[in-house]
Amino acid sequence: MSLTLGQVLALFGAALAVGLPGIGSARGVGIVGESAAGLVTEDPGKFGQALILQALPGTQGIYGFLAGFLTIQKIGLLAGNLVDITPYQGWLIFASCMPIAIVGFLSAIYQGRVAAAGIGIVSKRPEEVAKGITFSAMVETYAVLALLATILMLFGINI
Amino acid sequence: MAIVNMKKMHLLGLKREKEKILKVLQKTGIVEVIDIVEDEVSEDAKELNGEVQRSYVNQELNRELIDLENKLSNLKFGIDFLKPYVKPTNPLIHGKPNIKKDELQELLAKENSILESLQAVFDLDKEISQLKTKKSKLITQIEMLSPWRSLDIPLEQLGETGRTTFIAAVMPRKSKAELDKRIADEGLLAEITTLGESKDDVYTLVIYHKEHREPMEKLFKEYSVNLQDFGSLKGTPKELILAAENEIKDIDKEQENIKDKSKKLSDNIQNFEILYDYYTVEKDRKSAFLKVMDTDKTFSMQAWLPEEHEELVKSQISKVTDTVYMEFSEPSEEDDIPVLLSNPKLVEPFEVVTELYSLPDPRGLDPNLYMAPFFFVFFGMMLSDAGYGIIMCLLAGYALQKFKLAGTGKKFTALVFLCGVSTVIWGAIFGGWFGDLLGLKPLWINPLDNPLSVLILSFIMGIVQIYAGIILNAYKNIRAGKIVDALMDQGLWLVLLTGLLMFAMPELATVGKYMAIFGAAGLILTQGRSQKNIIKKFTSGVLSLYDITGYLSDILSYSRLLALGLTTGVIATVINTMAKTVSGSIIGYIVMALIIVGGHVFNLAINVLGAYVHSSRLQYIEFFGKFYDSGGRAFDPLKVKTTYVNLEDI
């Protein structure tokens, strides 16, 4: 099987779309996990609330995975026969992967920091956990928008 | 509907009937006693002669309350201590047991014997902690002695004899050989016998002649040799270890014994629980006493109650006494009115969403009725998988049927059920049944085939909700009599936004253009009306148009409806694709089933969380931001509040 430059570029974009937000989410979830573990040492009963906060920065990884999946579906890799892609189209696909790759990576880390601060809310005023979740969701907005941009760009490219 | 109207009750009664009246109010459970003592004492008490007496009464009451607190914490300790020894019953399934009045009376009559068994629990606890310290002491002793196990001289005989000195010493492994060498070189009369070894150290018995004491001690210092002090221990280490081990065995036996005793005592746990609840109720009532004003023979109190219950409270009180004066009044401007919400059954579950944000201002709007339909629709659209919706409905429905839920728990479960219904509807519309597992055709459109249509639908939803928010704000202004504000602030924005929207549609573009210009001009002219200076009037008018970016970003924010819906669908599809690739053989089918079940459970969990968080966010930021006044205080009536049992009648 001989690959064209276009196909390589598209796959490279997909790899970045899955990889970078994945790293970001891992870090975000990790940051919250560290605070959460400290909280649970003191009060094991708050595990559930802490877990919700920890799950929040994990979505960027899922968004990235989603974008990557849609990309490899678009170039026909899933069906087993790669579509012939010109370098020009390859660059387009690569570009459309960038919003979620970059924003997903960074926003997951920032969201992780907000959620980790939310652990403080859980420890002192557990009844107010919804507010901590909301603060954290504010950060995620931009990951959602980036995902949306990626998807719309991807669907707009004709192969 | 919405926020319940409250009335303020003023009650004047005889002091000796205070207990009786408050008991009735507590049983009715719909009255919140207002603390009127705090302010009155600080201002008036200085002039009153009764000040001394009052503080005396309060002291008495406080002492009673402290007694009750102590009793409660003791009972709580007893309950927690005995809990591991009784078979756990799940109050969610069985509910709390009902305790009748005569049962309670019987129990109160033999309260002393119950408190005796509580004392027994305390004794057991004390014994347990004593045994624990003893055991850990023995364990350290064994650890300390075990390297010396091969020393066969009783410890008390170490030390000096007529000519020689016997000592036990610990030294670093390296030092031992060098020390031996030095002793031989310097011709000292000394002998080092190795008794035991650990990773770095050797445990030795050192014997030397008394005359060589000084050089020996110098050598010890040089090679960092530690002399072991056994304190007052007697006998050989072996014997001592054996004795300690036997003692530990005895302690273990004793601990078993205590467990048996605790098991026997555990029959008392229900008595403890009943007493605990009884005294909690008592404490709540006595705390209310602190908020009531006393004179020599009478007392006066104020309380909040829902308007609709006025007659009920009147009749309940007149049942127990005639010598009471009651007056009900509307709340005044500066009153801190508590908030109680009352909504139709279908809207009630959504109160949880608002409560997690903040209760409404008592003089504001209850947003639940308006927020509920949006939350319902948005949640379903973000999860948008009929299969997942069915699972949610089944789980929540089962919980509602089977468990005896109350309060927030019940509301929340009902919310899950309703959101499940919405998810089924949207799933059918978008053709998502566990992703593409069932291969059913969508009723309208698959968002993967045509994301733009769904994106436009998301924006339309957003526009509808934002309009609703602006209109509610206008309604709020009109209700407060500020019709001009409603017309200029909200009315003109509606004109401008509608004009801009029409401008986007070719056939309405001209009308839209003039509407938008009219709206914008109106805003420029009116938004600066609070400013005095004419230039400031104009500039703040122009600057107010900047808010348009706010509305734009609000509408764009609704694109998450599409994005989160796509996430669920695509990941479900990925799971199905992965599962299909392994099918073929028997093992393949088993793995396939595992992937499908595990994958969908994961996807469901992560996306339910996402849908909940993001539909809440749309309410909190985009919708509530437009009109909602928060900051209410929850209505907290004096009532019979129990933890373990239902006290039917007290």
Mean pLDDT, to the nearest integer, of A117-134?
A: 87
Secondary structure (DSSP) of B245-275: HHHHHHHHHHHHHHHHHHHHHGGGHHHHHHH
In chain B, ranges of CATH 3.30.70.100 domains: 159-229
Nearest-CB residue to A134 (from B559, B562, B617): B617
Q: Among B384-393, B462-471, B627-636, which is the least confidently predicted range?
A: B627-636
Each residue's pLDDT tens digit, B572-585: 988 998 898 888 88
Residue B646 confidence (pLDDT): 83
Q: Please give the backbone phi and psi of residue B359, each rounded to the nearest 5 degrees, phi first.
A: -70, 150
Which H or E run contains B608? helix B586-617
Residue B91 confidence (pLDDT): 67
The half-sphere exposure of B586 on its side-chain side, counting CA atoms within 13 A, is 0
Q: How far apart are CA B380 and CA B568, in angstroms?
A: 11
Which H or E run contains B513? helix B509-526
Nearest-CB residue to B609 (from A52, A78, A138): A52
pLDDT-based confidence at residue B52 (cuts at 50, 70, 90): very low
Rg over alpha carbons for chain B, rounded to the nearest Å, is: 39
Residue A77 confidence (pLDDT): 81
Residue B615 confidence (pLDDT): 92
Q: How far is CA B246 from CA B239, B241, B268, in A?
A: 11, 9, 34
Residues of chain B whose beta carbon is less than 8 angstroms from a beta carbon of chain A are: 356-357, 451-452, 455, 556-557, 559-560, 562-564, 566-567, 570-571, 574, 577, 606, 609-610, 613-614, 616-617, 620-621
**Contact yes or no for A141 and B566 at CB 8 A:** no
pLDDT above 80 (res B46) = no
Q: How far apart are CA B365 and CA B345, in angstroms?
A: 18
Cα three-residue angle B444-B552-B614, rounded to 5 degrees = 60
In chain B, ranges of CATH 3.30.70.260 domains: 1-36+291-340
Task: Kindly list the residues from chain A whose CB atom is less than 8 angstroms away from the CB atom of residue B570.
Answer: 66, 69-70
Contact B611, B564 (CB under 8 A): yes
pLDDT above 70 (res B41) = no
Q: How far apart are CA B616 and CA A132, in angstroms?
A: 12
Mean pLDDT, to the nearest integer, of B275-304?
A: 88
As a residue count, chain A comes to 159
pLDDT-based confidence at residue B96 (cuts at 50, 70, 90): confident
Where helices occur in A2-159 by DSSP H, the ranges are 5-42, 47-55, 59-74, 87-124, 129-156
End-to-end CA distance of chain A: 20
**Contact yes or no for A155 and B614 at CB 8 A:** no
| DSSP classification of residue B228 | P
**Contact yes or no for A78 and B577 at CB 8 A:** yes
Q: Please give the backbone phi and psi of residue B325, each rounded to the nearest 5 degrees, phi first.
A: -115, 130
Mean pLDDT, to the nearest integer, of B250-258?
A: 91
Nearest-CB residue to B559 (from A52, A78, A148): A148
Superfamily of domain covering B1-36+291-340? ACT domain (3.30.70.260)
Each residue's pLDDT tens digit, B498-539: 998 898 888 888 899 999 999 999 998 888 888 888 888 888
Q: Contacts for B309-312 with beta carbons within 8 Å, 24 or more apart?
A: B309/B28, B309/B30, B310/B7, B310/B9, B312/B28, B312/B30
* CA-based nearest residue to B382, from B620, B563, B630: B563
Share of chain A above pLDDT 70, in %: 98
Residue B644 confidence (pLDDT): 85
Give the count of Cβ contacts less than 8 A between chain A and B: 69
Enclosing domain of residue A86: 5-156
Rounded to the nearest integer, the mean pLDDT of chain B is 87
Mean pLDDT, to the nearest integer, of A59-71?
A: 88
ipTM: 0.71
Total of domains in chain A: 1
Nearest-CB residue to B563 (from A52, A133, A147): A147
Mean pLDDT, to the nearest integer, of B540-557?
A: 83
Nearest-CB residue to B613 (from A62, A69, A137): A137
- A29 has a chain B CB within 8 A of its CB: no
Where helices occur in B384-450 by DSSP H, the ranges are 386-402, 407-430
pLDDT-based confidence at residue B650 (cuts at 50, 70, 90): low
Share of chain B above pLDDT 90, in %: 35
**Contact yes or no for B606 and A55 at CB 8 A:** yes
Sign of the torsion angle spanned by Cα atoms B200, B204, B209, B213: positive
Locate B580 and state its tokens: 């299909």
- In chain B, what is the greatest distance between 2 CA atoms, to the nearest angstrom? 123
Task: Kindly list the residues from chain B whose CB atom is less than 8 angstroms away from the CB atom of residue A155.
Answer: 451-452
Each residue's pLDDT tens digit, A10-33: 999 999 999 999 999 999 999 999
Q: Contacts for A154-159 with beta carbons within 8 Å, 24 or more apart?
A: A154/A67, A154/A70, A154/A71, A154/A74, A154/A93, A154/A96, A154/A97, A155/B451, A155/B452, A156/A96, A157/A74, A157/A89, A157/A92, A157/A93, A157/A96, A159/A74, A159/A75, A159/A83, A159/A85, A159/A89
Residue B293 confidence (pLDDT): 85
Q: What pairs with residue B306 in β-bridges? A: B6
Residue B509 confidence (pLDDT): 87
Q: What pairs with residue B98 in β-bridges? A: B646
CATH number at residue A65: 1.20.120.610
Contact B575, B600 (CB under 8 A): yes
End-to-end CA distance of chain B: 33
Residue B57 confidence (pLDDT): 64
Was domain B159-229 assigned CATH 3.90.1150.10?
no
Pairing of strands B633-634, B338-339: parallel
Q: How far apart are CA A26 and CA A31, in angstroms?
A: 9
**Contact yes or no for A144 and B559 at CB 8 A:** yes
Q: What pairs with residue B193 in β-bridges? A: B205
pLDDT above 70 (res B45) = no
**Contact yes or no for A141 and B557 at CB 8 A:** yes
Amino acid at position A86, single letter: T
Each residue's pLDDT tens digit, B405-461: 888 889 999 999 999 999 999 999 999 999 988 888 899 888 888 888 898 899 999
Q: Residue A61's closest chain B neighbor by CA?
A: B567
Each residue's pLDDT tens digit, B197-231: 888 888 888 888 888 888 888 888 888 888 888 87
- From the CA of A130, how many Å to the nearest CA of chain B? 6
